[in-house]
Structure 1
Amino acid sequence: MGPVPLASVASTPVSARGGSVRTGSRGSGRSRGATRGGLGAGLIELPRVPLRDPASAVMAEPTVAESRRYCVACDKPVGRGRDGTPGRAEGFCPHCGTPFSFLPRLGRGDVVDDRYEVLGALAYGGLGWIYLARDRNVSDTVSDRWVVLKGLINTSDPDAMAAAVTERRYLVEIDHPSIVKIHDFVQHPDPKTGVPVGYIVMEYVGGQSLRDMLVSRRAATGERALPLPEVIAYGVEILPALGYLHDRNLLFCDFKPDNVIHAEEQLKLIDLGAVRQVDDDVSAVYGTPGYQAPEVAEVGPSVAADLYTVGRTLAVLSFDFRGFASTYADRLPDRSEVPLLGREESYDRLLRRATHLDPDRRFQSAAEMSEQLLGVLREVLSAADGVPRPAVSRQFTPERRAFGTGAGEVGLTAIARRLDPAEVAAALPLPQVDILDPGAGFLTTLTATAPGELIAQLRNAPVRSVEVALRLVRARIDGGDLAGADADLDRLYADDPFDWRIDWHRGLAALAANRPGDARVAFDAVYDQLPGEPAIRLALAAAVESTGDPELAERLYDRVWRTDHGFISAAFGLARLQLAEGGRVAALRVLDQVPESSSHHIAAQVAAVRANLPADGLPAGAGELLAASDRLQRLGLDVERQARLTVEMLEAALAWVTAGHTLPPDARVLGHGPHEKGLRLGLERAYRTLAQLAADPPTRIALVDRANAVRPRTLT
């Protein structure tokens, strides 16, 4: 187990023990397991923590600080000094008379169970002393097998003794690479009373606890937090261990930085004294103030309460969380108080969901929390270095089509500068179908595509289920029956108010009804539930943009695009807003990032051509016009689109030149001279090309007339 440090606040038994024990009362939409890599989630390289020599980990003078000495019966201070005189480490509580002892029971050279030779005390925690020992039955002249013995701080404490028995009963058979292995349970007579004392024999993990790492960083650099990507990676790595326990109807109850050891390239949960079965409503509940969920004292522990402790741990490790056990014992600071939370909105939302006062609004499984945490990690890393880290979502499909791409569509009509909310509603990703839903199989048999026919098939479905109902909602939205869609969603909400898919569809319906403000509220609620999903940030960005908040929309588009270049709508949205602010260079950079493998690469390049033309008050100089010319010539468009875009560009260049601007005399715009005559000749040729391609006589005649009107005047 290694050097297990004194907890900043000791684990203490919760006074109320008779409440019902909860395992999480509902599922948030659907919980699907998270995919993950090795330590560092396969995304970052965490610092390697070297193993510590076991002998150097032993405490020279094992003592319990007076500030941590409390009576196990009445929880009042004991063993405290007065007027400069140190307090006694053993004695009787002056308040209730219960005996106390904070001295280790074992010393160097003691042999427990004729097998484990004690080297000394490693640390002390809320439930017992921890000793380093050598296993004589395994050690040999070549190497030693070091183990850890955990006893009790006060053998007269029946709750502590019961907790030790609980460890033996539930944990010996646990086998998970991220949980310390319990080898054995032995007894040894107390040297003073002769009463047998139980000791748990555990695997020795010789690294550093996360709390040790935090303290070391503070001492070395003055920083009071670990780097955020490391903290998130630790959470992603350790959550499956908690999920392993939960799957076996066990609750950890006392997760905190002290109870996680980083050794070389491995993370391990240690100090399992507070672990209990989910249906145990008799044993004492142990936890640590500042980490423990507030409802535990009344209703007992649960899966949601375990995940609450993970959220609190992430907060303590990632920012200077002073007062976490007092002022902020049951809440997080506002974003305005913590710069990190203001910068990393997805992380902030994840912490707030994990530590919500209402257990029903927290994550309901370790896999669900790990999945979202991993998504947040991808976003944080990509935002920092600009390298996309896409992943296939287990919650959403890809976007059905790109929206807001008008700047990349070639035509003679004016380019739309504002989003069409209905277009967005028809393009956004959809929730993945839950394959465990009773109606999932039926949905695969649907053949109708027209909304009316599809509605009829769904209303006559042989099975009623949530997935069938949601598909009916989408069919109503597509068919314009928005009142019917809202009524269906109200019925679904009455059955399960925590299903995020309902809010997602409310957002789609609101966009289809041109109510972007309502869509913004709905998508914001989904963001609170699934903060690691870029699809949600994309939807929220579109709704926010449509409500006239370009600054926030730009930030959201930027985070989506940095994380995953598969969301083409985010690239066009980001470039669109940057251009509106005069950020031509930034917009071009984004459009050039659309990969050549994308079906929208040409559209992005067309948009980049247009971005270099003077339009909507965005000035352009000779350099921009010539850059647009070079870019267009490299595109290799078909004849018609090339001619149409040539007309658009030469008209802009002609207007610019006739306004009094000049191009370098040796320059060429799409192969034409840089003066009015050369540009007019080019326009005439482009119009005649389009006339030859025209499908009907009226259009052909109109284009020929334009060609005649634009050609330069001559003397003949």
Structure 2
Amino acid sequence: MNSTDPGTSGPPVPEQARFCARCDGPVGRGRSGRPGPERGTCPWCGAAYDVRPDLAAGAELVGRADRYRVEAPLVRGARGWSYTARCGSDGALVVLGRLEGPDGPAAGALAVEETEVLLALDVPGLVHARDVVHADGRDGAVRLLVLDHVPGEVLSASRPCPPAEALDAVLGAVPPLAALHRHGLLHADLNPSNLLRGPGGITVLDLGSVRRLGDRESDVWATTGFVAPEIHPGGPGPSVASEVFALGRTLAVLLADFDHVRNHALRLPDPAGVPVLRDDPDLVALLARATDPDPARRHPGVEAFAGEARRVRTRYPASDTGIYTARPGDSGVGVGVLVGAHPDNGPTRRGGGRSAGAAGDPRDARGAPIP
């Protein structure tokens, strides 16, 4: 590895996004006008934390298929940092996503057999995994999955958005999710930050939480606000039903800017206070079924969810940012969003502004305040 000290460069993690990996308690918060520390001890459970990048820019990593040079930290998730890198053979830009959690391989590691299945998959709409590399991280050896870099904008950057766009986005995620399920795998961390809208449609990102169907042993790494209630210690664990729950939650969060992390982590906001939901009982029924606390009452699979979502989608005019169209080979299941009428058009931000009201006021896709 390059001798540059890891942790000395890269975008700082905002204090409001710093949480303990063990207990999910807030860490690294400032007081009395002083910035919070980027590393230290969690005041809630005593675990050590460090939010700095643990790989240095310029580090050389060797995989089975190629060599990779780390360029820069990209984003920090539940398992740690991901990075941009360049392939040694052709200079292609790739993303390195960490497979282990901060406590090592036992904390949600993607097993060897699942990794091999992912490397062999070539599914439209699913980011392509091309290699696995090992690196010397700050706290020991780590494995990273080498993924294609996909241009575009993650959906979390443009919420809330109009119903047509929100429905198109979640429908675009259904074919790759269904393909994973057919291969006996679950994505297990579906949320707006892991869906990207680009010139080719919707792409499902971040394969680091992928696990086998029926896996009841591995730790679960997922995003608060999109985790089904049955996923808890001693519970049945992730399943196709929990993927349906995450799809429903993703749609709800794309439609309305409500507190989906704390006050509404497992329930929807009152439709009476959200005009975009109040005016469409069928949309509310779709969300309510997908996010029902009882897995048995949800849609039996993501394709069944898509069937009901398509019927709701027909009520809305075609989105002015894209074409409502199925991907080739989808057999009519799900849709993709082509950004702009011309394939050379770049991604377009839609509905993300909060020009009315105070900054941070919850609003739905129409800009109406949510009580």
Using the size of structure 2 for normalisation, the TM-score is: 0.75
Which of residues 248, 253, 257 is equivalent to 1:311?
Answer: 248
Which of residues 7, 16, 22 is equivalent to 1:73?
Answer: 22
- Structure 2 equivalent of residue 87 of structure 1: 36
1:107 is displaced (CA, Å) by: 2.8
Which of residues 191, 194, 207 is equivalent to 1:256?
Answer: 191
Cα separation, partners in 2 of 1:304 and 1:154, compared to 1, 3 Å? closer
Which of residues 158, 172, 191 is equivalent to 1:237?
Answer: 172
1:171 aligns with 2:118: yes
Q: Which amino acid aligns with 2:83?
A: Y
Query: For the Cα contact (< 8 Å) 2:127–2:148, is it kept in 1?
Result: yes
Report 1:330-349 matches (<5 A): 330-349=266-285
Q: Which amino acid aligns with 1:370?
A: A
Report 1:128-277 matches (<5 A): 128-137=80-89, 139=90, 144-151=91-98, 155-160=102-107, 162-163=109-110, 168-190=115-137, 192=138, 195-214=140-159, 225-277=160-212
1:78 is displaced (CA, Å) by: 3.2
Which of residues 347, 361, 370 is equivalent to 2:306?
Answer: 370
What do you get for the CA RMSD once the two structures are aligned? Answer: 2.6
Q: Partners in 2 of 1:312 and 1:66 — Cα distance? A: 25
Q: Partners in 1 of 2:78 and 2:110 — Cα distance? A: 11
* Structure 1 counterpart SS, 2:317: helix
Which of residues 44, 52, 68 is equivalent to 1:103?
Answer: 52
* Structure 2 counterpart SS, 1:381: coil
Q: Partners in 2 of 1:171 and 1:325 — Cα distance? A: 30
Q: Which amino acid aligns with 2:17?
A: R
Query: For the Cα contact (< 8 Å) 1:127–1:152, is it kept in 2?
Result: yes
- Structure 2 equivalent of residue 284 of structure 1: 219
* Structure 2 counterpart SS, 1:179: coil
Query: Equivalent pairs: percent with the same residue?
Result: 36
Q: Which amino acid aligns with 1:337?
A: G
* Structure 2 counterpart SS, 1:352: helix
Cα separation, partners in 2 of 1:70 and 1:202, compared to 1, 3 Å? same
Q: Which has the higher helix share?
A: 1
Query: For the Cα contact (< 8 Å) 1:135–1:146, is it kept in 2?
Result: yes
* Structure 1 counterpart SS, 2:316: helix
- Structure 1 equivalent of residue 327 of structure 2: none
Q: Partners in 2 of 1:102 and 1:169 — Cα distance? A: 30
1:73 is displaced (CA, Å) by: 3.2
Q: Which amino acid aligns with 1:185?
A: V
1:120 is displaced (CA, Å) by: 0.8
Cα separation, partners in 2 of 1:129 and 1:293, compared to 1, 3 Å? same
1:211 is displaced (CA, Å) by: 0.8
1:256 is displaced (CA, Å) by: 0.6
1:64 is displaced (CA, Å) by: 2.0
Q: Which amino acid aligns with 2:94?
A: V
Cα separation, partners in 2 of 1:77 and 1:350, compared to 1, 3 Å? closer
1:293 is displaced (CA, Å) by: 1.3
Query: For the Cα contact (< 8 Å) 2:145–2:208, is it kept in 1?
Result: no
Query: For the Cα contact (< 8 Å) 1:164–1:200, is it kept in 2?
Result: no
Cα separation, partners in 2 of 1:277 and 1:379, compared to 1, 3 Å? same
Where in structure 2 are there 5+ consecutive unaligned residues?
1-8, 319-371
Query: For the Cα contact (< 8 Å) 1:290–1:312, is it kept in 2?
Result: yes
Q: Which amino acid aligns with 1:131?
A: Y
Which of residues 236, 255, 261 is equivalent to 1:299?
Answer: 236
Cα separation, partners in 2 of 1:162 and 1:290, compared to 1, 3 Å? same
Instruction: Give the paired residue count.
Output: 307
Q: Which has the higher strand share?
A: 2
Query: For the Cα contact (< 8 Å) 2:99–2:109, is it kept in 1?
Result: no
Q: Partners in 2 of 1:150 and 1:164 — Cα distance? A: 15
Query: For the Cα contact (< 8 Å) 2:85–2:94, is it kept in 1?
Result: yes
Q: Partners in 2 of 1:273 and 1:106 — Cα distance? A: 17
Q: Partners in 2 of 1:240 and 1:152 — Cα distance? A: 24
1:334 is displaced (CA, Å) by: 3.1
Cα separation, partners in 2 of 1:152 and 1:305, compared to 1, 3 Å? closer
Q: Partners in 1 of 2:210 and 2:118 — Cα distance? A: 8
1:74 is displaced (CA, Å) by: 3.8
Query: For the Cα contact (< 8 Å) 1:167–1:273, is it kept in 2?
Result: no
Q: Partners in 1 of 2:186 and 2:157 — Cα distance? A: 24
* Structure 2 counterpart SS, 1:117: strand
Cα separation, partners in 2 of 1:181 and 1:76, compared to 1, 3 Å? same
Report 1:670-681 matches (<5 A): none
* Structure 1 counterpart SS, 2:134: strand
Q: Partners in 2 of 1:377 and 1:156 — Cα distance? A: 43
* Structure 2 counterpart SS, 1:379: coil
CA offsets, 1:370-423, max 9 Å, x none?
1221121113339xxxxxxxxxxxxxxxxxxxxxxxxxxxxxxxxxxxxxxxxx
Which of residues 127, 131, 137 is equivalent to 2:79?
Answer: 127
Query: For the Cα contact (< 8 Å) 1:101–1:153, is it kept in 2?
Result: no
CA offsets, 1:170-204, max 9 Å, x none?
422222111111111111223x56x3321111110
Query: For the Cα contact (< 8 Å) 1:132–1:147, is it kept in 2?
Result: yes
